């Protein structure tokens, strides 16, 4: 049963306070995290831990990112209502749900068929409706729906895929963890057709961004 109780809400309020202590200031991000029932995106055996600031396994060798990472990446995106956001790595759908709660039109790709099937059934049950959910290779992006106001990659990439840069609007932001074992959170802002401004935000750990579909 998909239950969200006052107890869960209380735990979410505590989580939001923790994220504020850790430096998250975007009210839009914090409200989305306050609203989305993270415990429903986890295996029920983890339910009691769902509102700790930790990553958990979700199947197919993947994880649900820790709430701080979700909040940090979402804040860097600077989502405005109705922004078209491309998400690489749907995973459990939790980040997707947070972006939808922030008012984004979310286009999301997942390469693990098992996760894609589970998540595409779960989100509608929770009343969360991304614009487009697809099973495919994140390295290629979604050229048919480009350009995007923002692109968020939720797995560590050894390099920044060219197709993703090409699918970003001028003025748009690409948020991607880059590196092999430890990743550096990287933001590219597209200045014009050929130029990107690069910012780096320290070390994070992600599961690897894999090519092709599984």
Angle between helices 94-101 and 67-77 (to 10 degrees): 40
84-88 vs 105-110, strand pairing mode: parallel
Which of the following is catalytic: 65, 74, 92, 108? 65
The residue ranges of DSSP E strands in the chain, in sequence order, are: 56-59, 62-64, 84-88, 105-110, 132-135, 148-153, 168-178, 183-190, 196-204
Would you state the structure tokens that stand for residue 111, as one six-digit string? 């390469």
62-64 vs 56-59, strand pairing mode: antiparallel
Q: Mark whether 17 is an active-site residue.
A: no
**Number of other residues whose CB lies within 10 A of the CB of residue 70:** 27
Closest by alpha carbon to 100, among 45, 164, 36?
36
Please give the positions annotated as active site: 65
């Amino acid at each position: 049963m998909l239950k969200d109780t006052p107890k869960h809400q209380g735990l979410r309020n505590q989580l939001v306070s923790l994220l504020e202590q850790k430096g998250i200031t975007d009210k839009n991000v914090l409200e989305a995290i306050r609203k989305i029932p993270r415990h429903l995106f986890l295996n029920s055996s983890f339910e009691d831990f769902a509102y700790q600031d930790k990553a958990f396994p979700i199947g197919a060798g993947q994880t649900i990112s820790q709430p701080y990472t979700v909040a940090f990446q979402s804040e860097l995106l600077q989502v405005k209502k109705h922004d078209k956001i491309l998400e690489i790595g749907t995973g459990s759908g939790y980040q997707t749900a947070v972006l939808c709660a922030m008012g984004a039109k979310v286009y999301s790709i997942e390469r693990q068929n098992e996760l894609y099937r589970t998540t595409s059934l779960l989100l509608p049950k929770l009343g969360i409706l991304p614009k487009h959910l697809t099973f495919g290779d994140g390295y290629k992006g979604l050229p048919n729906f480009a350009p995007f106001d923002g692109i968020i990659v939720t797995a560590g990439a050894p390099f920044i895929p060219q197709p993703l840069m090409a699918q970003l609007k001028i003025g748009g932001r690409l948020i991607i963890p880059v590196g092999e074992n430890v990743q550096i959170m990287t933001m590219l802002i597209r200045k014009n057709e050929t130029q990107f401004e690069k910012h780096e935000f320290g070390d994070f750990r992600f599961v690897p961004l894999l090519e092709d579909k599984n």
